[in-house]
Amino acid sequence: MSLPQHRTANVPRCRPAAPSEGWKALWPPPVGLLLLWGGLWLNLNTGPWLLEGGMAAVGFPTLARVYAPFVVLPAALLWLAWAGFRPRRMADSPLALLAVYGLIGMVAGLAWSPWLEYAQYWATAYLATVGVCLAASRSSGAVTKATALLLATWVATATVAAGVTVKGSGTIFGDAPTAYGIINDLEGASRASGVGRWAGVSALVAIVWAMHLGSRIARAVLLAGAGVGLYVVYRVQSRGAVFAAAAGLLFLLCLDKQRRRWALPSLVIAVFFMAAFDAGGMLPEKILNYLNRGGSEESLYTLGGRTNYYREGWEAFKKDPFFGRGFWADRLTGIGHIHDGPLEALLTAGLAGFVAYLWAWIAGWRLFARLWRRRRRLLKAQVRELAACGAVLTFFTLRAIPEITGAGYEPDLLILCAAYAYLEAVHARGPGMRERAAVLTRRPGAQVSPASA
């Protein structure tokens, strides 16, 4: 029996929330997507240079890791075609914008790269990363798939962070004045900035989880892990990671009204105590020495020599301003690692691709802001992951200044795209299941509460 029209006029029309899209119903997991995602993670720290001695010189596991992007990209495209691609507004999809940037970079590499094989390798790896995240966020059951992808990313990030911490423990927790030279302990597998990224992101996510979980034991474990992560960031003295982690912490303090009330007073108290215990006014000098890692002030002002790369990169951009010269253009043209996301985007895909790259950042923050405004309509676990995505976005937004975050294929891209996939999936899902359940069980004539209207 249908309800009278006057009683249903204000009831939102919506379909029931599918059980498979709930936070607690992640079983069975999207095994296919997770395998593709795992292939990209295993591809890290490999590249075409490993094959310069011939395929016979490397074992099958290494060969599989090197060629993983060439399997993952077509598989992700087939997944999208088979699962039913769901188009959305380009301006609201950071993943689609990154795909446009990647395609422009791929075409530019085909036309103008000085080393075609390398340029296309990194273009394929870049598009494979974006493609898997698009498959997760655009196919049916997108929230479940994107959530599983995000959780797998948090686990992988924490695992790598724990691994590099254990392997570099002699330097990190030893008597050395700094752990900036940790790359020697890690046998070249990761620089100080890379270790800072792994530790900083893991610490921020652990803090978010500790803020939202009810178990005291879980909170204690997570906060202890976050403390170790932040200590690692401090010890490796990667300026980009230090400022990015500090910005992430400040973001979490200011995220809602309850914590925002204590953010400014806590900052004032901290500054007061630092000034009170600063015997002889040595604190500014100590901070300066920490930031320049014991080197000269000139090293600090030139960002460790990065400004020289910026100057050369800008001159190279002016030679191909419209479409760039493809992926890895900074290294393949002899400049070296450019250490700046926007400039890397200009070199890779020119002004055409830079617009898509820049708008992807804006679109990602717009999605977060929209979802945070309506967080009361989401499940508690969704709010938790939303806060974690916001902290990670803050971290990588600042890190894009001294690194090429989002503009090239690297671990930053894997973490960032997983966060984008989650934001897109939850945003496209519409009102959270808490509201949908209330609508579906509402009695005829019942009033709609302001929280769910």
Quick one: which of 403, 324, 406, 290 has its CA closest to 358? 406
Mean pLDDT across 337-350: 95
Whether 345 and 97 have beta carbons less than 8 Å apart is answered as: no
Backbone angles phi, psi at 345, to 5 degrees: -65, -40
Amino acid present at 282: M
Pick from 90-99, 209-218, 384-393 the range whose average pLDDT is largest.
Answer: 384-393
Which residues contact residue 278 at a Cβ distance below 8 angstroms, ignoring those fewer than 6 apart?
none
pTM: 0.87
**Cα→Cα distances 325→40, 317, 359, Å:** 24, 9, 20
Whether 414 and 40 have beta carbons less than 8 Å apart is answered as: yes
How many residues in total does the chain contain? 453
Quick one: which of 427, 444, 437 has its CA closest to 89? 427
Least confident of 158-162, 206-210, 232-236, 269-273: 269-273
N-term to C-term CA, the chain: 24
pLDDT grade, residue 77 (50/70/90)?
very high
In whole angstroms, give the CA distance from residue 453 to residue 447. 10
Query: Tokens in use for 139?
Result: 């196919």
Angle, alpha carbons 85-87-18 (nearest 5°): 65
| Residue in the block written with tokens 């303090």 | 253
In whole angstroms, give the CA distance from residue 307 to residue 54. 37
Which residues contact residue 69 at a Cβ distance below 8 angstroms, ignoring those fewer than 6 apart?
40, 43, 121, 124, 125, 128
More confident residue, 240 or 225: 225
Pick from 13-17, 102-106, 374-378 the range whose average pLDDT is largest.
Answer: 102-106
Whether 421 and 133 have beta carbons less than 8 Å apart is answered as: yes
Mean pLDDT across 110-121: 93
Quick check: 141 pLDDT over 90?
Answer: no
In whole angstroms, give the CA distance from residue 447 to residue 11. 10
Whether 415 and 161 have beta carbons less than 8 Å apart is answered as: no
Quick check: 312 pLDDT over 70?
Answer: yes
% of the chain with per-residue pLDDT over 70: 78
Helical (H) or strand (E) element with 366? helix 341-373
pLDDT grade, residue 441 (50/70/90)?
very low
